[in-house]
Amino acid sequence: ENKMSQQEKAARRAALRNEYWRTMTNPHNHLRGESGGVFDTGLARFQAMRVNHYEHFKPTGRSFKIGLFTVVIPIIVYAKMMKNERDQREQQYRTGQVAYADRRFKFI
């Protein structure tokens, strides 16, 4: 059974290869308006799947976690770090620990 499937695969590959070379080397393709390459049905299916992916998307716990940990939490953590840094800098300015000449963003 395994040898048979390997032979079938080899026969399919050979048929596809022959079809590809026959199409690519046909000097009369320009008469039918087929200049360029061979129409790849697998690539067309893949592109159609990519376009229609969001129409068939079903939210799951896993996709929720992925979105949470890759988008929401990093934004919140970064905003918190930025606010803490700015509050600390403002505190240093207000208590006189940083001279006016050494301040960043003096004119804002």
- Ordered per-residue pLDDT tens for the chain, 108 residues: 688 899 999 999 999 999 888 888 887 777 776 666 777 788 899 999 999 988 888 999 999 999 999 999 999 999 999 999 999 999 999 999 999 888 887 775
Please check whether residues 47 and 76 belong to one and the same domain.
no
Query: Residue 56: what pLDDT?
Result: 86
Per the structure, how many domains does the chain have? 2
Asked whether the whole model's pTM tops 0.85, one would answer no
Query: Residue 86: what pLDDT?
Result: 94
- Supply 93's token pair: 């300015």
Residue type, 57: F
Distances (CA, A) of 1 to 6, 11, 18, 60: 9, 15, 26, 40
Please check whether residues 50 and 71 belong to one and the same domain.
no
Which residue range(s) make up the domain with 21? 1-57
Please check whether residues 1 and 53 belong to one and the same domain.
yes
Please check whether residues 25 and 53 belong to one and the same domain.
yes
